[in-house]
C-alpha cells in the first residue's frame, strides 16, 4: 500500500505578496548541475508510484530556485508536462480556507470562539444532538475538532455548498463524539467553514477565494473552476483509484467536482511555483493580506494531534520538528500539509529556519515523493544528521486505564489485559466471521495497531482527564466511547464499521 503523508531551472520573482519581512535576502548561488539529482529522483518516484506526471518547485532565500516537471500530461500521451502544468492540491487547500476565515474575522464578521449555529443560522441538525451542535465553535472547525463523521452521505454532484451543509449533512452524517474533545481529521469541518465564508460574504465560496485569497497572493492560475482549467489547457490527467485499482483518466469530466467538498480540498488546481507564493506568505507574512497576529495564529501549534510521534496542528498546517524518511528521523522544523484526491497527490513543506519550501504535485493516487523532498532539500542546504525516530514511550502502566468496554454506532469493542498485553474483541465482527487480530500492538504513546482483514489499522486511546480511565478508542473513521453496557450491535452495523475503521489516519 502506498504511504500517505498521510519539478527546467528558473528564478521567478513572487508577486502579489506586498508587506512581509524586511530582512535582506542574500543572492542565491546556483551551482552547475546542482539539481540533476532532484530531476533524477522525481522521475524515479513518479515511475514507482505509477503517476502520470509530477512537478516540483523549490523556494529558498526569497525566490524560486528550481521548477521542473516529468512525465506526460496524459497517460500514454505525447505531451510533456511542464512546470506550468496544473495539478490538483487536494487537502493542501485547507490552509487557504483558514486564511479566508481569518480575513473575515479581521472584518469583524465573527471570531474563533463564535458558535457554528450563530454564524450559519440556517443550519439544521437532529434535536437529539442539539446540545452538541450548539456548542461547536469556529476554531474547532479550523483544527479538526468538530467530531464530524468524515463522510458526505446524501451528496449529489451538483449539490451547492451552502445547501448541503445547511440542510443535508446532519441528516445523513453524524457527530462521532462530543465536539471539541480532541483533534480527529475530518473533511466536513472545512466544508462547514467554507459554508460560513460563503454565507458571511454573501458570495460563492469559489468567488471569495479567487478575489480575496488567490489574487492577493499572486496565484492567478490557482482555481476551483473546471471551465477555467479546460480553457487554460495545460493540466495533467493521470491515474485515479477505482474499486478495481488504478485506471487512467481520459477526460476531465471523470474527476469529482462537488461544491460541498471544495473548501476541504476537492478540485483545487495549481502548480508548485504558484504554491511558492503561499510559502512566502507563511514564511514572512503580509500585513496587507492578514495581520501579523493572525498570521502567527496560522502557523502556531493550536492542538495536539494524537500520534506516536510529537505532532501538532496549526490552522490548516501540521507543525512538527522533523519528518520520517527511510525509517529515520530528519530533524527539521516545518509546516506541512499533504493532499490526496482520487487521482492527485500534493506534498507541501515549509522550513522556517532555512527560508526554504518545497511543493510536489503529481497526477496519481496516494503517491509518496518523500525521497524527492529529501533530494530537493539536499540540493540547497546541508541536510542534518538523521536520528532515530522519536517515538513516544509506550505506557504499560496505563493498561488498566485503557481496559473497558467502548461503543461506536452500536458496535461494542472490549479492551482487556492478558499477560501484560492489551486484548481486543468485537462481538459483531465475530458474528460476521470477520478476521481481526486479538492483541493490540503498541506503536508509541497511546497509539496501538490492530489488523482487520489483514490490513493494519492504527487507533489512539484518548483520555479526558489525567490518571482516569481513557474515554475514547479512536481513529479517523471510528470513535468508540467508553460505556458500561453489554453487546448491542448487530451484523447489519458491521459493513460501515469496517469501512470507517479502514479510513487512513493521515490522509489529506
* Residue recorded with cell 469583524: 108
Entry pTM? 0.91
What string of pLDDT tens digits covers the 508 residues of the chain?
343 333 222 222 222 223 333 333 333 444 557 899 999 999 999 999 999 999 999 999 999 999 999 999 999 999 999 999 999 999 999 999 999 999 999 999 999 999 999 999 999 999 999 999 999 999 999 999 999 999 999 998 888 999 999 999 999 998 999 999 999 999 999 999 999 999 999 999 999 999 999 999 999 999 999 999 999 999 999 999 888 889 999 999 999 889 999 999 999 999 999 999 999 999 999 999 999 999 999 999 999 999 999 999 999 999 999 999 999 999 999 999 999 999 999 999 999 999 999 999 999 999 999 999 999 999 999 999 999 999 999 999 999 999 999 999 889 999 999 999 999 999 999 999 999 999 999 999 999 999 999 999 999 999 999 999 999 999 999 999 999 644 444 444 677 777 787 776 334 4
Q: What are phi and psi of 355, to 5 degrees?
A: 50, 50
Strands 441-444 and 447-452 come out as antiparallel
Question: 36-49 and 370-380 helices cross at what angle (nearest 10)?
Answer: 170
pLDDT at 34: 83
Give residues with Cβ within 8 angstroms of 491, minimum separation 6.
Answer: 428, 431, 432
Please tell me the distance from the alpha carbon of residue 27 to that of residue 72, in angstroms, as a whole number.
Answer: 34
Please tell me the distance from the alpha carbon of residue 197 to that of residue 103, in angstroms, as a whole number.
Answer: 10
**E strand or H helix at 118:** helix 116-119
DSSP notation for 45-101:
HHHHHT-SEEEEEEEETTEEEEEEEEEBSBTT-SPBP-TT-BEE-GGGGHHHHHHHH
Helix (H, G, I), strand (E, B) or coil at 491: helix
Give residues with Cβ within 8 angstroms of 417, minimum separation 6.
Answer: 399, 400, 402, 403, 423
List beta partners, residue 414. 405, 425
Cα-to-chain-centroid distance, residue 211: 24
What the block records as the C-alpha cell of 37 is: 539529482
Q: What are phi and psi of 119, to 5 degrees?
A: -90, -10
Q: What are phi and psi of 291, to 5 degrees?
A: -60, 155
How distant, in Å, are the alpha carbons of 25, 111, 357 from that of 46? 33, 43, 20
pLDDT at 30: 44
Please tell me the distance from the alpha carbon of residue 366 to that of residue 284, in angstroms, as a whole number.
Answer: 30
Gap between the terminal Cα atoms of the chain = 16
pLDDT at 504: 60
Please tell me the distance from the alpha carbon of residue 262 to that of residue 267, in angstroms, as a whole number.
Answer: 6
Amino acid at each position: 500500500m502506498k504511504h500517505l503523508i498521510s519539478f527546467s531551472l528558473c528564478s521567478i520573482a513572487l508577486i502579489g505578496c506586498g508587506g512581509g519581512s524586511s530582512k535582506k535576502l542574500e543572492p542565491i548561488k546556483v551551482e552547475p548541475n546542482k539539481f540533476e539529482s532532484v530531476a533524477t529522483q522525481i522521475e524515479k518516484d513518479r515511475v514507482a508510484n505509477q503517476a502520470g506526471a509530477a512537478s516540483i518547485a523549490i523556494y529558498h532565500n526569497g525566490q524560486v530556485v528550481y521548477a521542473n516537471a516529468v512525465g506526460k500530461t496524459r497517460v500514454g500521451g505525447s505531451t510533456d508536462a511542464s512546470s506550468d502544468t496544473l495539478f490538483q492540491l487536494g487537502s493542501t487547500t485547507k490552509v487557504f480556507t483558514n486564511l479566508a476565515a481569518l480575513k473575515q474575522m479581521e472584518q469583524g464578521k465573527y471570531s474563533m470562539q463564535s458558535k457554528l449555529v450563530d454564524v450559519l443560522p440556517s443550519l439544521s441538525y437532529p434535536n437529539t444532538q442539539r446540545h452538541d451542535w450548539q456548542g461547536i465553535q469556529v476554531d474547532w472547525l479550523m483544527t479538526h475538532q468538530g467530531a464530524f463523521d468524515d463522510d458526505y452521505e446524501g451528496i449529489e454532484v451538483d449539490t451547492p455548498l451552502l445547501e448541503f451543509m445547511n440542510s443535508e449533512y446532519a441528516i445523513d452524517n453524524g457527530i462521532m463524539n462530543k465536539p471539541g474533545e480532541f483533534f480527529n481529521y475530518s473533511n466536513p469541518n472545512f466544508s462547514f467553514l467554507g459554508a460560513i465564508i460563503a454565507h458571511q460574504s454573501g458570495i460563492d465560496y469559489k468567488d471569495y477565494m479567487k478575489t480575496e485569497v488567490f489574487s492577493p497572493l499572486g496565484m492567478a492560475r490557482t482555481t476551483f473552476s473546471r471551465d477555467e482549467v479546460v480553457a487554460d489547457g495545460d493540466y495533467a490527467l493521470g491515474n485515479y483509484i477505482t474499486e478495481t485499482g488504478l485506471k487512467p483518466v481520459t477526460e476531465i469530466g471523470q474527476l469529482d467536482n462537488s461544491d460541498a467538498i471544495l473548501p476541504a480540498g476537492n478540485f483545487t488546481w495549481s502548480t508548485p511555483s504558484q504554491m511558492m507564493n503561499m510559502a512566502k506568505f507563511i514564511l514572512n507574512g503580509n500585513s496587507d493580506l492578514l495581520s501579523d497576529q493572525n498570521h502567527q495564529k496560522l502557523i502556531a501549534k493550536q492542538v495536539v494531534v494524537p500520534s506516536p510521534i510529537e505532532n501538532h496542528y496549526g490552522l490548516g498546517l501540521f507543525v512538527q520538528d522533523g519528518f520520517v524518511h527511510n525509517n529515520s528521523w530528519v530533524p527539521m522544523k516545518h509546516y506541512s500539509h499533504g493532499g490526496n484526491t482520487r487521482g492527485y497527490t500534493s506534498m507541501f513543506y515549509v522550513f522556517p529556519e532555512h527560508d526554504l519550501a518545497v511543493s510536489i504535485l503529481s497526477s496519481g493516487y496516494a503517491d509518496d515523493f518523500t525521497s524527492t523532498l529529501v533530494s530537493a532539500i539536499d540540493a540547497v542546504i546541508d541536510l542534518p544528521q538523521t536520528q532515530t525516530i522519536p517515538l513516544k514511550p509506550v505506557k504499560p502502566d496505563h493498561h488498566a486505564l485503557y481496559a473497558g468496554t467502548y461503543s461506536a454506532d452500536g458496535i461494542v469493542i472490549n479492551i482487556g489485559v492478558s499477560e501484560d498485553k492489551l486484548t481486543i474483541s468485537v462481538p459483531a465482527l465475530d458474528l460476521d466471521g470477520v478476521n481481526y487480530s486479538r492483541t493490540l500492538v503498541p506503536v508509541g504513546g497511546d497509539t496501538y495497531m490492530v489488523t482487520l482483514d489483514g490490513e493494519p489499522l492504527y487507533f489512539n486511546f484518548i483520555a479526558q482527564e489525567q490518571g482516569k480511565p481513557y474515554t475514547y478508542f479512536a481513529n479517523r473513521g471510528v470513535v468508540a466511547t467508553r460505556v458500561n453496557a453489554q453487546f448491542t450491535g448487530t451484523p447489519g452495523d458491521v459493513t460501515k464499521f469496517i469501512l470507517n475503521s479502514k479510513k487512513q489516519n493521515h490522509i489529506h
